[in-house]
């Protein structure tokens, strides 16, 4: 299918129509996270949609922080979000925007609504407000302060701003319709009192706008043409449009909703992710088991794999849940092409070659199918390590069942010689601690001599030049596909084997200076990257195994 023939999604159809009719001259979108946590894989889809649309149409996408709630927000989250968006490969242009940049203008518009008889200061407390709001089946009732004069509301709002009113004592509410079937239109709160410093505006404000009041007006200030968000905001669109209709805005944005990305065997609720962090079930927001973008990056998932995955998903008007295996397919597909090869022995087992005393170096490709990635050097000597699981003293094992080293038989060492196991050495407890083997000469890169049939190919490292390292093997964080479905407590389904730390591993010498973010396929084990969270030690994180172990 050519690019011309590819079907376009409903948002692209809207944009095409707007451009053709001249309603829009330049496409401007936005990605508006609240800085109260780290971004996760669900946000990645929204990033790809919004920045992708801007790129496709030669427009602009603003990264805008909806920083209207200093109680939950932090500069740490701001910087983490900026890093994530840039790491995914998107240009921030002149830099991020902030709701806090518009606090003065939002306050002016709040006073305008009061003067137009469309907002009032209310003295109902939170519990009373819930009672007056009604339910999905019962209409609400008017606040006793709904008919307060504009002059009095303006005076009280200024007192709120100056910090002269206690928290919780008053709010500013829009005057819309307490009988509306859409609860969002039942006189929503525009401002609430919070006597706390803001990370960007300091102590200037004692009141902060609600997300619903700020969001559409921020879009209007920035000239956003297509405000694209996920479906949970569909019920908020009538309120969004009420504000754009009743305020003297510099432009009129339109909101469109698409289905959010839900991924099984994980959670994408920032509140629940925060619970995992705060209760110590994971090692922070960037724990490689977390579905956060920073966690995926630390685990070794590439930006390209995330973008390819997100771009493969439909931009539709319905929510859906994607199988984790689909995401893992894109991770493996990317790493198979781009990860250099290396050897690491998880459980070192000593092999001594009785008929060999030299020191050699072999130059081998970093990738079997990509010459441009160059070559790496392997040291080879009289003693090497193989993995303990690659040797058995059970000589009755069939070749089909055990394609590794057995006494009296041969294996090929990856990119090196064929060897034969000749003798076992045990310690006082009867444990095998070493195998004496013999090397078959002239078998590097050559076919096996006649009469010699290796059982298989195994990986190895030099005893004298390999480096000690720790390997973290990760698995899915939860044992069930929907850990927070219904009344489930997600903590009941945490996977106790989601992290297995293996110390005393041995990696080939060339990886001593491995860079965090570089990718390696440890032959026969999986894909790995150096841990960016522990650069003082040589630690490798398992990005993903070579095969899906969760298949039914």
Q: Name the active-site residue from 270, 297, 404, 412.
A: 270
My answer on whether 171 and 297 are in the same domain is no
Q: pTM (2 decimals)? A: 0.93
- Cα–chain center distance at 109: 37
Can 270 be counted among the known catalytic residues?
yes
CB 331 within 8 A of CB 301: yes
For residue 3, being part of any structural domain is answered with no
My answer on whether 158 and 210 are in the same domain is yes
What was the pLDDT predicted at 216? Answer: 96
What was the pLDDT predicted at 6? Answer: 64
My answer on whether 477 and 499 are in the same domain is yes
My answer on whether 454 and 473 are in the same domain is no
CATH number at residue 361: 2.40.240.10
My answer on whether 332 and 392 are in the same domain is no
For residue 552, being part of any structural domain is answered with no
What was the pLDDT predicted at 93? Answer: 85
My answer on whether 488 and 537 are in the same domain is yes
Q: Name the active-site residue from 111, 118, 146, 260.
A: 260
For residue 2, being part of any structural domain is answered with no
For residue 232, being part of any structural domain is answered with yes
My answer on whether 65 and 112 are in the same domain is yes
For residue 192, being part of any structural domain is answered with yes
Q: Which of 263, 283, 314 is where one domain is finished?
A: 263
Can 34 be counted among the known catalytic residues?
yes
Nearest C-alpha neighbor of 69 from the set 44, 103, 113, 43 = 103
Quote the number of domains for the chain.
3
Calculate Rg over the CA atoms of the chain: 31
- Kindly give the parts of the chain with pLDDT less than 70: 1-6, 551-552
pLDDT (tens digit, 9 = 90+) per residue, 391-439?
Answer: 999 999 999 999 999 999 999 999 999 999 999 999 999 999 999 999 9
My answer on whether 76 and 118 are in the same domain is yes
Helix (H) or strand (E) run with residue 478 in it: none
Q: Which of 263, 291, 309 is where one domain is finished?
A: 263
The Cα 234–Cα 317 span in angstroms is 10
For residue 418, being part of any structural domain is answered with yes
CATH number at residue 330: 1.10.1160.10
What was the pLDDT predicted at 386? Answer: 98
Q: In what order do the strands lie in the sheet with 418-426?
A: 457-458, 410-413, 418-426, 432-440, 348-353, 383-387, 461-462
What was the pLDDT predicted at 281? Answer: 97
For residue 5, being part of any structural domain is answered with no
Can 371 be counted among the known catalytic residues?
no
Q: Which residues pair with 455 in a beta bridge?
A: none
The residue segments making up the domain with residue 480 are 270-338+469-507+513-545
CB 69 within 8 A of CB 37: no
For residue 502, being part of any structural domain is answered with yes
Cα 368 to Cα 42, 83, 343, distances in angstroms: 35, 33, 14
What was the pLDDT predicted at 549? Answer: 77
- Cα–chain center distance at 27: 27
Q: Name the active-site residue from 34, 55, 158, 167.
A: 34
CATH number at residue 50: 3.40.50.620
My answer on whether 229 and 127 are in the same domain is yes
My answer on whether 316 and 358 are in the same domain is no
β-strand 97-98 against 119-122: which pairing, if any? unpaired
Residues present in the chain in total: 552
Positive/negative CA dihedral, 499, 504, 507, 512: positive
Q: Which residues pair with 379 in a beta bridge?
A: 361
My answer on whether 139 and 255 are in the same domain is yes
My answer on whether 395 and 533 are in the same domain is no
Q: Which of 263, 296, 322 is where one domain is finished?
A: 263
């Amino acid at each position: 299918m050519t690019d011309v023939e590819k079907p376009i999604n409903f948002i692209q159809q809207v944009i095409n129509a707007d451009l053709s009719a001249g309603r829009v001259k330049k496409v401007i979108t936005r990605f508006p996270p609240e800085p109260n946590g780290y971004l996760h894989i669900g946000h990645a889809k929204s990033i790809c949609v919004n920045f992708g649309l801007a790129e496709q149409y030669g427009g602009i996408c603003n990264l805008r922080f909806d920083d209207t709630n200093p109680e939950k927000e932090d500069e740490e989250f701001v910087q983490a979000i900026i890093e994530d968006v840039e790491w995914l490969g998107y240009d921030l242009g002149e830099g991020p925007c902030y709701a806090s940049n518009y606090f003065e203008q939002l306050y002016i518009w709040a006073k305008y609504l009061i003067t137009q008889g469309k907002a009032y200061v209310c003295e109902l407390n939170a519990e009373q407000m819930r009672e007056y709001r009604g339910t999905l089946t019962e209409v609400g009732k008017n606040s006793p302060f709904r008919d307060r004069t504009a002059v009095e509301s303006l005076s009280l709002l200024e007192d709120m701003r100056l910090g002269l009113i206690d928290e919780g004592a008053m709010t500013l509410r829009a005057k819309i319709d307490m009988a509306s079937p859409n609860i969002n239109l039942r006189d929503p709160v525009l401002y609430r009192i919070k006597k706390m410093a803001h990370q960007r505006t300091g102590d200037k404000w004692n009141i902060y706008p609600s997300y619903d009041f700020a969001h559409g007006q921020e879009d209007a200030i920035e000239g956003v043409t297509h405000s694209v968000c996920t479906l949970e905001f569909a019920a908020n669109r009538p309120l969004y449009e009420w504000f754009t209709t009743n305020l003297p805005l510099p432009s009129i944005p339109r909101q469109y909703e698409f289905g959010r990305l839900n991924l099984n065997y994980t959670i994408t609720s920032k509140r629940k992710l925060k619970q995992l962090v705060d209760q110590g079930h994971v090692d922070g927001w960037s724990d490689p088991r977390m579905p956060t973008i920073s966690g995926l990056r630390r685990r070794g998932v590439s930006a390209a794999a995330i973008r390819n995955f997100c771009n493969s998903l439909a931009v539709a008007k319905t929510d859906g849940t994607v199988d984790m295996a689909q995401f893992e397919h894109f991770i493996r597909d990317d790493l198979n092409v781009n990860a250099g090869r290396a050897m690491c022995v998880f459980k070192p087992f000593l092999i001594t070659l009785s008929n060999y005393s030299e020191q050699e170096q072999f130059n081998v490709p970093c990738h079997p199918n990509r010459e441009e990635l160059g070559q790496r050097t392997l040291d080879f000597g009289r003693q090497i390590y193989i993995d303990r699981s690659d040797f058995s003293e059970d000589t009755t094992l069939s070749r089909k069942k055990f394609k590794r080293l057995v006494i009296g038989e041969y294996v090929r060492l990856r990119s090196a010689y064929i060897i034969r196991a000749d003798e076992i050495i045990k310690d006082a407890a009867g444990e095998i601690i070493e195998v004496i083997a013999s090397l078959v000469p002239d078998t590097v890169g050559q076919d096996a001599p006649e009469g010699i049939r290796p059982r298989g190919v195994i990986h190895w490292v030099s005893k004298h030049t390999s480096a000690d390292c720790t390997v973290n093997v990760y698995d899915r964080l939860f044992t069930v596909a929907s850990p927070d479905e219904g009344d489930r407590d997600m903590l009941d389904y945490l996977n106790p084997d989601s992290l297995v730390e293996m110390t005393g591993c041995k990696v080939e010498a060339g990886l001593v200076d491995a860079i965090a973010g570089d990718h390696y396929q440890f032959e026969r084990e999986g894909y790995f990257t150096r841990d960016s969270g522990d650069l003082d030690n040589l630690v490798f994180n398992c990005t993903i195994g070579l095969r899906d172990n969760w298949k039914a």
